[in-house]
Chain A
Amino acid sequence: MKLRRVSPGIVATAAVMVAVGLGVPLVVDQFQLLQLTVFASMCILALSLGVVWGYGGILCFGQSAFFGLGAYTYAVTAVNLAESTLAILLSIVVPAVFAALLGYFMFYGRLSDVYLGVITLSVTLIFFNLMNSTAGDAYRIGTARLNGFNGMPSLPTFNVPGNPGRLLDPTETFYLVMALLLSVYVGLHALLASHFGRVVVAVRENETRCELLGYDVRLHKLLVFTLGGAIAGLAGSLFANWGAFVSPNVFSLSTTSQIIIWVIVGGLGTLVGPIIGCVLMQYLATELGTQQLANTSLMFGIIFLAFVLLVPRGIVPSLGVVRARLSAVRARPPA
């Protein structure tokens, strides 16, 4: 990505991330720091769907399949090895390979968007049911018991690479997660500014036009889908590390619909939008969780409907429209 092409918005967002990453641990207590760590991990998950859906035009209803696969891969590997470095790497690779396989059959089978949504949703629900059915001693991978609907507790948390005895404390973990969020955000922008990124967006706009220009549409869709799977897997490992726990809920319908809501609320076709949507909705979920008046899922549903009906573009694109209109009004000569 050439420096001259970096938009002020990207620089500002990255600067905010750096400021939050460096400044927040100095001013908040440990509970709030842990909350912000999971917010940042979920932002990475939101970015994974943001790029697959917002830029690749692939409405994946099953992004939580890759998220959960990453979380379980981390859990199983970390329990077996008592070390987190390889576990993190595998939590990216395994969902990416699974996304590549699933994507191959979907894109090379020329499935339409509707079927694609149905299949991805079905896959995550299959994982949900499958992992719920793994209670009992028989269901173990190496020394790691899967524990069915009870989930896997007491997972080893992140350690310094090559030094399993030196675990990261909550502040160091927060720095790591913020650094990963920044890297994913900047990396995705760099990718989207490249020739590959332009083709991905062009495929979203019109597949026929791209084929006319000699681009393999299926391959580009497969690559962006796989990338989304890898990023979601990374988020899964961060989530598993955060709570030192993983359960089949990572594959649940509520998880997968949450990701879609974050992207819709923040704004499709942007990268900062899913981050903003995720932080807002996570904050709201935390606040709603402290009261008994309204059910959180019901409130999420109402917010989702309100955005779809009233702010269909999402927050960030709508702000852009408002800003453009204000600029036009200011530029108009006085009567």
Chain B
Amino acid sequence: MFLHVTELSARYGRIPVLNGIELQVAAGEFVGVLGHNGMGKTTLLRTLMGFVPAQRGRIAFDDVDVTREPPYARARRGLGYVPQGREIFPGLSVRDNLRMGFAGRGVDERIDAILETFPRLTPLLNRRGGALSGGEQQLLAIARCLAGQPKMILFDEPTEGIQPSIIEELVVVLRQLHQRQGLTILLVEQNLEFIAELAQRVLLIQKGTILRELRPKELRQADVLNEFVGVGTDAG
């Protein structure tokens, strides 16, 4: 397994947030994690990245135990993370935001290669990151993550606050990254349509535990939605 998480628990102070998470993602797989607010989706990703310390359990990435490694070391191993809120540098230009992902020579050539996947960013290269729309910032965050040449990317609700036209573009971009570039992806989302469109399998998370695994088409079934997601029947 590319990402192998066993018995993972984490807490904020005295409040437990993750309770014995079991999660496996194979190389080249696209896995979605679905759950309500406060169920531990973001904490799961932050724990996988090392921003929240694991109280118990083990995280193995690419056959290496990274449980005690700091975030930058995990990023260097090829674990990319596109967080909620994008976390771009608002004062830097789009080009400099992308440059931050690189070190050494040949930066501009590598940026050009990445921009082929993100043509929308090309005319914006000299614009300040903070002046972009939410959707453009999301694309920039993904492009910058790719600059680090990750082997796997963790996405935290990339559709949050994004206009529908860019969500469609995100679907195309993520599919391209998965299918053409063979990237392994773990996507945390609340947007049923988005996750059903992209993920090969979906994990339902509730109260910090993986409750059940679903096929994407099952997400459109009314009984499943009512039982596990509680959003009614209008999603399919």
Contact = CB atoms under 8 A, between A and B. Distances in A.
Interface of A: 195, 198-199, 202, 205-206, 208-217
B96 A206 contact: no
Q: How large is the interface on B (under 10, 10 to 19, 20 to 34, 35 or more residues)?
A: 20 to 34
A211 B72 contact: yes
A205 B71 CA distance: 17
Interface stretch (B75-83, B202-210, B213-221): B75-83
A110 to B, nearest CB: 10
Interface of B: 49, 51, 70-72, 75-76, 80-81, 83, 87-89, 91-92, 96, 99-104, 144-145, 147-148
Interface centre among A209, A211, A212, by most chain B C-beta atoms within 10 angstroms, is A212
Given A198-B96, A214-B76, A217-B72, A209 B101 contact: no
Nearest to A214: B75
Contact of A211 (B70, B100, B101): B70
Contact of B89 (A206, A211, A215, A216): A206
Given A205-B91, A206-B87, A209-B89, A216 B72 contact: yes
Contacts of B102: 195
B71 A199 contact: no
Contacts, number: 52
Given A199-B100, A212-B81, 10 more contacts: A195-B102, A195-B103, A198-B100, A208-B71, A211-B51, A211-B75, A212-B75, A212-B83, A212-B87, A212-B145
A199 B100 CA distance: 7
B75 A208 contact: no
A213 B87 CA distance: 11
A105 B58 CA distance: 28
A198 B104 CA distance: 13
A198 B99 contact: yes
A209 B100 CA distance: 10
17 contacts: A199-B100, A205-B89, A208-B71, A209-B87, A209-B88, A210-B72, A210-B100, A211-B51, A211-B71, A211-B72, A211-B75, A212-B87, A213-B72, A213-B100, A213-B144, A213-B147, A217-B72
The 8 closest A-B pairs by CB, nearest first: A214-B75, A211-B71, A214-B76, A209-B87, A211-B72, A216-B72, A214-B72, A212-B81
A213 B72 CA distance: 7
